[in-house]
Structure 1
Amino acid sequence: MKKQQILAVIASTLLLFSCAPRDNGQLIGVMDRPSWSPINPYGMQYVPSGALHIGPSDQDVNHSLVARPKQVSIQGFFMDDTEITNNEYRQFVHWVRDSIAHVQMGHTVDHPNGVQGVDWEAELDWEPGGALDGMFYSGAEQLGDRRNIDIRQLVYDYQWYDWKKAAQDFDWKTDFNRFSKEKHNRADYIRKDAIRIYPDTLCWIRDFTYSYNEPMTRNYFWHPAFDDYPVVGVAWKQAMAFCYWRTNLWNAFEEVNTEDFRLPTEHEWEYAARGGRELAPYPWGGYYVRNAKGCLLANFKPGRGDYPADGGLYTVKGDAYFPNDYGLYCMAGNASEWTSSAYYENAYAFIHDLQPDIRFDAEEDDPNTWKRKVIRGGSWKDIMYYIQTGTRHWEYQDTTKSYIGFRCVLTFLGRSINDFN
């Protein structure tokens, strides 16, 4: 090594130690870290870590063999105690509506990080003849004298990071080598989508031929009578967009970002539905859908079609009936629920036994088979087989149904609350 190089190394070494923090030479970690304590989000219940025997909780009456028995382990998480209700989803719709209106009126602010945001303190002028008239139906599209928001304009941009693809492509031997020319661009794994977020209220008519359900189309999502009922008519991507929005809403008021709100995997859902009861066919345990007094324990289709026998002709309030032992309501019946899992008939044959997860982000032009997503729990229009905790079913991610809703989960960070050892 030349003399000049030796002097350069010595100088850089002295500079390094002269700028080091005053830690008395001890390994004490970074001292200016934010404090953290476990959170309990409003409206959510904690589901502790544990093991689950997935598979049919009763005989496989269809002999479908799509749920072979297997033991898996699940990390603790928080789950909404009810399905997302109309009023909760309406908060999302109003946020998107108001953010679009603010931007149209020029109500924006520049944040320190260089990102332009909405000025929520500014007032919106919704009066007729104002700057926001363009957000309403007009002309031939206006029904009578009603002034209704043009729901086609309620489009929400959301994004997510494809961690699985990034992990497959990343090679630490080349990507961490500063001399290597084979480097992956982080932007290649950031997925973006824009989607209309207003629920499909017409599904109440479309789902049932020769059946009069127009009052539900006109009233279900917006009328106060249904505020606490589960939102339906929401496609899988709309549910994903809601989770992304809810995460941003949370992070805007939290100093320390947490895990993202998301849809549960199908096995997290099944684990939560059983409520700690091993191989329980229903969230309440036993083999019957009525209690000792003969009262039905869930909102589904009993008998040969006596829909009102359980107290509700269609859906019922999200907290109707008794919760399971985890404090979760209507994990059987009421509304079937989207999960994040892609549906494959033989999935149980190759899934991992640690936090099993199968996902696939289908594109618009992909075959329909690739767009199948697992739904769980059964609904108000299903027979009792479909409300069992171990029954798997599916629907296409780009469809909307009057009997499919969703709820969110949030992964618990750290050791499970129930582990006191």
Structure 2
Amino acid sequence: MIRATRATCLSHLFTMTFLVLTIQSCLIGRDRDDRGEVVGVSGRLGWKMETPFDMVFIPGGSCVIGAVDQDMASLVNPPNQVAVSSLYVDKCQVTNNKYRQFINALLEEAASMQEARNTSDEQEERDPSSVVEGSSIEKETSTSSVLSEEVIMKELYPDMSVWQKDFAHHMADRMVECYYEHISFDDFPVVGITWEAARHFAAWRTKHLNTYREEHGLWEMPKFRLPTAAEWTYAARGGNPFAKYPWGGPYVRDARGKLLANFKSSRGNYRECGYDHTSPVDHFAPNDYGLHIGGNVSE
């Protein structure tokens, strides 16, 4: 069972990374005689990296992470330069509708598992000898990785109470009731997600993609996962190692005075950026890597 506390902030910023693998094609035929030499395993006909849906490629490089000189924390967390390998990152934050696909898939699995258990119980009641200790049915139900509906709803389902906790100066009742469920918010970022839930989403996303690829005779893709602090910092800066904000400049407003991202600029005046809550994930301009990550939700 998952053990995780609810996030006290509006949301975990939810971006998956996809490691880039450079694999040399092996063109050795299946029946070729290796003449006693080490030539590699035959039959592996090469693999080409494909850009995952809604992701962008981030070339490798280096960035400086840690507190800057003017921060008191720089004494205990001095800046360090770290190398970052090439990777793929979601160009937008995960939407309510994408996360709903994940939740619905888990609930369907849970329902199927419960139905199988009920059928097994009915068979055992009719004929106790039909299910013996140590049988495959017993092992499958006792060691199943399928989560129960109770665990899914308690640990993985978005916690909409964050609207009331984090927006004390905002009438958030409507958001609590509608934000995740209503179709009008499908393209808005999912909020109220714990770190553990984000990891489960990444694992399910990997399984969902590779199940399809296996069924169609395609090579398995690398795993989706959450980015490291260095990877996230590097990607967010958009190739500008000294950028203070994702859009590159040192200011939060453009020449006309409009905010360049969605964030709470002042208490009770949340609509200054154009929205009194979150905005669609691709509403504000992307950084130089093509990532729409300026504000909107917080970790």
TM-score, normalized by the shorter chain, greater than 0.5: yes
- Alignment partner, residue 267 of structure 1: 230
**Structure 2: gaps (5+ residues):** 1-30, 120-136, 142-147
Report the secondary structure of 1:196's partner residue.
helix
Check conservation: 1:229, 1:315, Cα contact below 8 A. yes
2:98 pairs with one of 88, 95, 98: 88
1: CA distance, partners of 2:94 / 2:66? 26
Q: How many angstroms does 1:78 deviate by?
A: 0.6
The question of 1:246 aligning with 2:205 is answered yes
Q: How many angstroms does 1:104 deviate by?
A: 3.1
Report the secondary structure of 2:240's partner residue.
coil
One-letter amino acid of the structure 2 residue matched with residue 272 of structure 1: A
2: CA distance, partners of 1:206 / 1:284? 29
CA deviation string 1:196-253 (max 9, x = no partner): 3111122222344575311111000010111011101111111111111111111112
| Closer, same or farther: CA 251–34 of 1 in aligned 2, 3 Å | farther
User: Which runs of structure 2 are paired with 1:351-366 in the superposition (5 Å)?
Assistant: none
2: CA distance, partners of 1:291 / 1:198? 37
Check conservation: 2:169, 2:268, Cα contact below 8 A. no
User: Which runs of structure 2 are paired with 1:259-298 in the superposition (5 Å)?
Assistant: 259-298=222-261
- Alignment partner, residue 24 of structure 1: 35
- Alignment partner, residue 151 of structure 2: 155
2: CA distance, partners of 1:308 / 1:256? 47
2: CA distance, partners of 1:94 / 1:271? 33
| Closer, same or farther: CA 35–73 of 1 in aligned 2, 3 Å | same
- Alignment partner, residue 196 of structure 2: 237
The structure in which a higher percent of residues are helix is 2
1: CA distance, partners of 2:56 / 2:150? 31
The question of 1:302 aligning with 2:265 is answered yes
Q: How many angstroms does 1:28 deviate by?
A: 2.4
One-letter amino acid of the structure 2 residue matched with residue 224 of structure 1: I
CA deviation string 1:106-160 (max 9, x = no partner): 499xxxxx9979xxxxxxxxxxxxxxxxxxxxxxxxxxxxxxxxxx82535xxxx
| Closer, same or farther: CA 308–243 of 1 in aligned 2, 3 Å | same
1: CA distance, partners of 2:173 / 2:267? 24
One-letter amino acid of the structure 1 residue matched with residue 83 of structure 2: S
- Alignment partner, residue 37 of structure 1: 48
Check conservation: 1:97, 1:154, Cα contact below 8 A. no
The question of 1:199 aligning with 2:158 is answered yes
1:103 pairs with one of 113, 121, 124: 113
2: CA distance, partners of 1:294 / 1:212? 26
| Closer, same or farther: CA 49–324 of 1 in aligned 2, 3 Å | same
Check conservation: 1:221, 1:227, Cα contact below 8 A. yes
Check conservation: 2:67, 2:73, Cα contact below 8 A. no
Q: Number of paired residues?
A: 239
Q: How many angstroms does 1:284 deviate by?
A: 1.2
So what's the TM-score if we normalise by structure 2?
Answer: 0.72
Percent of aligned pairs with the same amino acid: 42
The question of 1:333 aligning with 2:295 is answered yes
2: CA distance, partners of 1:302 / 1:202? 22
| Closer, same or farther: CA 290–277 of 1 in aligned 2, 3 Å | same
1: CA distance, partners of 2:242 / 2:277? 29
The question of 1:216 aligning with 2:216 is answered no
| Closer, same or farther: CA 57–290 of 1 in aligned 2, 3 Å | farther
The structure in which a higher percent of residues are strand is 1
One-letter amino acid of the structure 2 residue matched with residue 105 of structure 1: E
So what's the TM-score if we normalise by structure 1?
Answer: 0.52
One-letter amino acid of the structure 2 residue matched with residue 45 of structure 1: V
Q: How many angstroms does 1:279 deviate by?
A: 1.0
- Alignment partner, residue 73 of structure 2: 64
Q: How many angstroms does 1:303 deviate by?
A: 4.4
2: CA distance, partners of 1:324 / 1:57? 22
1: CA distance, partners of 2:232 / 2:274? 25
| Closer, same or farther: CA 304–263 of 1 in aligned 2, 3 Å | same
Q: How many angstroms does 1:257 deviate by?
A: 2.3
1: CA distance, partners of 2:46 / 2:297? 39
Q: How many angstroms does 1:326 deviate by?
A: 0.6
Report the secondary structure of 1:240's partner residue.
helix
Query: Which of structures 1 and 2 has the bigger CA Rg?
Result: 1
The CA RMSD over aligned residues, in Å, is 2.9
| Closer, same or farther: CA 73–91 of 1 in aligned 2, 3 Å | same
The question of 1:53 aligning with 2:64 is answered yes
2: CA distance, partners of 1:78 / 1:57? 27
Q: How many angstroms does 1:294 deviate by?
A: 2.1
Q: How many angstroms does 1:289 deviate by?
A: 0.8
| Closer, same or farther: CA 208–306 of 1 in aligned 2, 3 Å | closer
Check conservation: 2:68, 2:79, Cα contact below 8 A. no
Report the secondary structure of 1:279's partner residue.
coil
Check conservation: 1:202, 1:217, Cα contact below 8 A. yes
